[in-house]
A = this chain, B = another copy of it.
Amino acid sequence: MIHKFKVKTAASNEMAEITREVQGIAREAGFEDGICHVFVPHTTCGLAINENADPDVKRDIIAKLDDAISEDFDYRHGEGNSPAHIKSALVGSSLAVFVEEGALQLGTWQGLYLCEYDGPREREVWVKLMKG
């Protein structure tokens, strides 16, 4: 079974936290122990784990990725969103988070993020729970 939820992003590039939504799915399913796999069925956004405290970290990740994978390049893809596809390949489309006693096991400063590179859009996030 795959659990799905939607995320509306508000900018062309954005890191939208989804920790609470993913934790909620595990809790509602009564999932106690194992791996919580998260996946996005898109090629111009991705998933990452990063700091959940200072919002400037998200801003810096987005800004530096924009700088490293700049729009100013001889791209051929006609839709004009090649940087988004490249960021998606680099950052990745999936996460695997440990679960114990029903709780996602994350470090103190870690949150789960949907990384939008070609928004604003409505995105889908898929979750699959694998018992340990």
A residues with a Cβ closer than 8 A to B are 1-2, 33-35, 37, 39-43, 48-51, 54, 56-57, 59-61, 63-65, 67-69, 73-79, 82-83, 85-86, 88-98, 100, 105-110, 115, 124, 126, 128, 130, 132
Contacts and interface: CB of A to CB of B under 8 A. Distances in A.
9 contacts: A39-B97, A49-B93, A50-B85, A56-B75, A60-B76, A67-B73, A92-B92, A96-B96, A130-B132
Given A41-B106, A49-B89, A94-B96, 11 more contacts: A39-B105, A42-B107, A43-B57, A43-B107, A48-B89, A57-B85, A60-B77, A61-B89, A64-B86, A98-B128, A130-B132
* Minimum-distance CB pairs A-B, first 3: A41-B107, A60-B82, A56-B76
A43 B130 contact: no
Nearest to A95: B94
Contacts of A37: 35, 96, 98
A55 to B, nearest CB: 9
Contact of A68 (B68, B75, B105): B68
Contacts of A126: 98, 105
